[in-house]
Structure 1
């Protein structure tokens, strides 16, 4: 929807304050956990983005480079926008045990899938509710200019959420909040209404750098500095090519994303649970073994990941990631001889039908096992 100039009624300070209060109530009714408002000015964040891109830290995420100018200038994305309504939605389902997640990562034959991706695709969940939210606003005040977003356009949503007061930037670059830790999704509605803005929160990381120390690939190169090219989430999701050999062993059994920096964060001890069924774990992704997921055909992959963010990476990248996990399992002394033989056989059986990308990772996995055997 195109943005239009706000009416005099909308511009009234009293009316704006009343609307602001109503927005908070309505957001809660729609399942959002917090709502804050900011203007569209990004300050020095745009310069930091340009520096990050110039260093090549975005890797193969070419879309960040292509749309860098728009990403750094919200007014170019949505001309006429005056405010950004920023919302958060918790995704940690009640059956998630964060301590047990560590045990899963340490179990070589188990598949570790990032918590946020085990339920329904958050893009769809948030977008639908944001559209419903915008329609409710329109019913209350009449036609106005708006556009909704949730990780779906060149928008610096974490920076806008920080500026709005939804949380502060952790040293891992994710947004942190006292009540929700970092286990929440973000959404935005850009509007042409001059609503009152909220203040940013103070940072509460102090001297803690647990997220930096725990990162398996040292992707957090300094506080608030992330090199995506080293990040397991990037490597397993955004990266379309082979996993660089120097990072394969560090991946362990992480086959889609990586939660280490969030699991170690003290603030996630206070993370609130989501009651939305959309984010409940599906298809046993919290407990599945590497071999179980490896056994899925492409048809099964597409069917079971219907409506899931995981389906976006496609079957080949999924198999690539699993092959690395299986290779690391073969190299682990924790794995029994019986499991080792099952993994070897499953990998060998798959070579003939594998595409070039997957075949290269299968061969690596089997060679890792061979090198381990030769040392024994």
Structure 2
């Protein structure tokens, strides 16, 4: 057989080159064909929600970090529970990403508390701050303290959860309108709120802060549920009055988040009581620092209803975000397994999300599968996102 000449090889080389080009074009156009073909930077930047082996994190430690911190509002008496939260969070996430902790308290932290936190995470950077009681944990001048005391008694008689606790009202007001201005947070743009006694069930092998930055997400949640109506009897009315006074459109037009909180799938006039549970939130500090949110909070604060009622920071944050953000600026961290008190979220098998999760199964005395619980707003959220995506497509078509 005659050997191939250079001329006879050219057609084969050309065919091979074209084949490789078509294959690479196909992969580039359809990145889900094989994750193994993704560029190394896809994994090494840690700004995509992927499940990576521990060996990858140890060999390629994260280089870039967001200007972010964990924010922990806690009392000395909660030392054991917050230590448990930190140990768990370090194991599931922060041992690889090394974000600092900022602890805040209305009373000075004890040396015992500080030592316990250092033992919980010996390598973490930690700062301990005192809240300005005069400005941020006291009664503003326009609040009638005698009337507020009577309101707390009435809330106790009417079974309003935590309504009788004076400190709880101060806490909700602080979290709604002041925490982001604490001097220890001045150099940060992002925060992850951590509370005593919470649990994380899945490894988190990417950086949620960098993910949020990359995709212009400004608020992230894990649990969405209905608020207890007795805690916020006039909040919805007050928010609508504010929106009207500032000429903010709260209808279904455009891509606004706000109609998600209306009943009748966004078309009604009443509050459906859905909100994002704020004991877990990863969000932009600059969202709350913005003039628009400050104006919103100040309007609410002037009513005195953080004290006359039991307005919580969760519905306040949620409705504030509803007025200021578009739906696609909110991120549901479906892949993060999490529990606060009895309520638990874990990624479902059908979703294919979550990384090496060790979630409890079903509902027990110690853990409730909240995704399937009576007061969950997750079905409404899923439906809203689909509706919003469809509306956005029409918006883009005609804009």
- Scaled by the length of structure 2, what TM-score is found? 0.24
- Scaled by the length of structure 1, what TM-score is found? 0.25
Bigger-Rg structure (1/2): 2
